[in-house]
């Protein structure tokens, strides 16, 4: 099992928030982001635009210093779900967009667990809001996982990560 960063997650998420702010297109992702922003609105009463509370929370990372605080608790599940989506669904040339995920997956690992605030260093927060990933290298499955990923674009996941992807 490794403990690895998710270096592209924050940049990916912020680009989608910006695109949604400009387009208002209704997709599963845009609805999730809008719902999260609505949930955050009581913590940012001065924000008037529909996505402003979310943008404020993503820009002010002080919530990471108090993991049991209200904002950290509100953000925990949605950001973990969005990170799972980023790792599993977001592709570049049909393979994982995230370079660290791509490295592990092409070598036969599976995405095993996402760790909330696993890296609260300034760099960890800047790159992934502190989320880190465990990749599992299970010897009997390395070869088949690698082939499934490289040839069939299938990513091996634990049940825990699958549940994140498929729950509301």
Residue 105 token pair: 């997956």
Q: Which residues pair with 5 in a beta bridge?
A: 132
**Residue 108 φ/ψ, nearest 5 degrees:** 95, 5
Angle of helix 9-23 relative to helix 70-89, nearest 10 degrees, comes to 90
Q: From CA 30, how far away is CA 163, in angstroms rounded?
A: 20
CA atoms within 13 A on the CB side of 97: 17
Q: From CA 168, how far away is CA 163, in angstroms rounded?
A: 9
Residues designated catalytic: 4, 104
Q: From CA 8, how far away is CA 11, in angstroms rounded?
A: 6
């Amino acid at each position: 099992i490794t403990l690895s960063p998710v270096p592209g997650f924050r940049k990916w998420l912020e680009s989608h928030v910006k695109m949604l702010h400009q387009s208002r297109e209704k997709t599963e992702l845009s609805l999730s982001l809008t719902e999260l922003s609505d949930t955050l609105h009581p913590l940012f009463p001065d924000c008037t635009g529909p996505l402003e509370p979310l943008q404020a929370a993503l820009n002010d990372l002080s919530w990471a210093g108090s993991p049991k605080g209200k904002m950290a608790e509100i953000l925990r599940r949605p950001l973990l779900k969005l990170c799972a989506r980023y790792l599993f669904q977001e592709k570049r040339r049909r393979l994982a967009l995230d370079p660290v995920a791509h490295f592990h997956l092409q070598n036969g690992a599976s995405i095993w667990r996402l760790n909330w605030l696993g890296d609260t260093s300034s760099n960890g927060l800047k790159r992934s809001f502190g989320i880190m990933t465990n990749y599992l290298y299970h010897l009997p499955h390395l070869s088949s996982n690698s082939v499934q990923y490289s040839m069939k674009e299938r990513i091996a996941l634990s049940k825990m990560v699958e549940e994140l992807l498929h729950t509301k």
